[in-house]
A = this chain, B = another copy of it.
Amino acid sequence: MVAPLKVGIAGLGTVGAEVVRGIEQQGRILTARCGRGVRVVAVTARSRTRKRGVDLDGIAWAKSPLAVATDPDVDCFVELIGGDGDPALSAIEAALAAGKSVVTANKALIARHGLRLAKLAEQHGGALNYEAAVGAAIPIVKTLREGLAGTEVKRVYGILNGTCNYILTRMEQEGLSFAECLKDAQRLGYAEANPTFDVDGHDTAQKLAILASLAFGTKVAQSAISVEGISTIAPEDLRAAADLGYRVKLLGVAARTRTGIEQRVHPTMVPKSSSIAQVMGVTNAVTIDGDGIAPITLVGPGAGGAATASAVLADIADVARGVRVKPFGRPAARLRAIRKAPMERHEGGYYIRLMARDLTGTAATIARRLAERGISIESIVQRHPNAGMENGRASGASSPVPVILITYATSEDAVRQALQAVRRDKVISGRPQVIRIEKN
């Protein structure tokens, strides 16, 4: 019988407490699955006295994360502190440098320092596992790192932020505004007091940076991602999307294109029939398009103590079994640098919503400006703003009328130039709303 794996945990918030509980409750299963026991030997957290509902008797309390990481009794350092700098960073570095394995749920840290940490892990022979960093319990890191080892990935995209998907779902289902839904999300604890990190797309971007590296063998580089959030999405857009057979989701997309690897986060129209369109509320999902095979979609809880702990436990089990996979699937030294793909070069279909000042002649003007840039229109819908409303009344001749266009695949540059021309023509009021379409 091999000696048990001795685990040290830094950070005993919801996830940390669930991990301690899981190791205790699932001890027999873990032992059977790993061929050896798993034992928590040291922990640390900011407060020693906080009630956590788990038994910490017989577990050493260390004075700092670094002390856990460097404890000679610890084989595997589990970092659940969070934050992309110290104390998490130096503790992980110390553990890896000592040849220990590291398990972390820290997406920010992996997105920022992943490459350096991977090199350290490879050099000293420890594992660096971070399944919980993206999509919590969804086994997306394992799937890209191991499950598709022999398959060339063409595109990986997903709903990686539950807050945004919750807001968009409620906006769509109840016709509410972004601001109203955000407030509810905050009340329910789905959104932070300062929600910008989530709703502006940065949380999605950190996760996408990790997935892109695993899928394409590129260096994790959040700076190479074009990011737009969901705050500009209006209920009208969701209604129009529904009418046209689409839903709007905040997607992180990394795709191999003719001009290189494109990485982008933005509100996206997806066909209602796609797996990703079915994902509602706080649920996360990732779709992988492999060369020559139909898409694979993984759906599940993207956050929460138990879901995150489930991934952490699986990572610990891999360490206990002696599994050592390169942190990014390939040697860190061979990951390729990636440059930000200019969005002007993006090619795809577009949804455009304009407010036409006066319909006489406006449609013709818009159509001409698009045609000048070689953009073909798949569908055009213009509707009286009050049409279908029970208390609708004829609006004055001066009220702008919404015009909604769906284009065939074209370049973003062409769309931007055409819309600039339309604005110069002074036939529309306000800024056009533009949403990219992602086909499955």
Residues of A within 8 A of B (CB): 22-23, 26, 29-30, 32-35, 131, 137-139, 142-143, 146-152, 217, 273, 275, 278-280, 283, 290-301, 304, 306-307, 309-314, 316-318, 321, 323-326, 329-331, 334
Contacts and interface: CB of A to CB of B under 8 A. Distances in A.
B150 A131 contact: no
B306 A33 contact: no
B318 A290 contact: no
A301 B310 contact: no
A131 to B, nearest CB: 7
Contacts of A309: 150
Contacts of A300: 293-297
Contact of A306 (B292, B295, B330): B292
Contacts of A326: 33, 35
Contact of A139 (B23, B147, B295, B314): B147
A313 B142 contact: no
B301 A298 contact: no
A321 B146 CA distance: 10
Contacts of A151: 22, 26, 137, 310, 313-314
Contact of A150 (B23, B275, B290, B299): B23
A304 B293 contact: yes
Contacts of A147: 131, 139, 142, 311, 314
10 contacts: A22-B150, A33-B330, A146-B323, A149-B313, A149-B318, A151-B314, A290-B310, A294-B300, A296-B301, A299-B299
A293 B298 contact: no
Contacts of A323: 146, 323, 325
Interface centre among A131, A299, A330, by most B CB within 10 Å? A299
A314 B142 contact: no
A34 B145 CA distance: 11
Interface centre among A294, A297, A314, A325, by most B CB within 10 Å? A294
Interface centre among A150, A313, A317, A331, by most B CB within 10 Å? A150
A353 B199 CA distance: 48
A149 B314 contact: yes
A286 to B, nearest CB: 10
Contact of A310 (B293, B313, B318): B293
Interface centre among A149, A300, A329, A334, by most B CB within 10 Å? A149
A147 B141 CA distance: 10
Contacts of A33: 149, 326, 329-330
Contacts of A307: 293-294
A318 B142 CA distance: 12
Given A294-B304, A323-B323, A30 B150 contact: yes
A314 B137 contact: no
Contact of A26 (B139, B146, B150): B150
Given A26-B152, A330-B33, A143 B146 contact: no
A138 B325 contact: no
Contacts of A26: 150-152
A137 B147 CA distance: 8
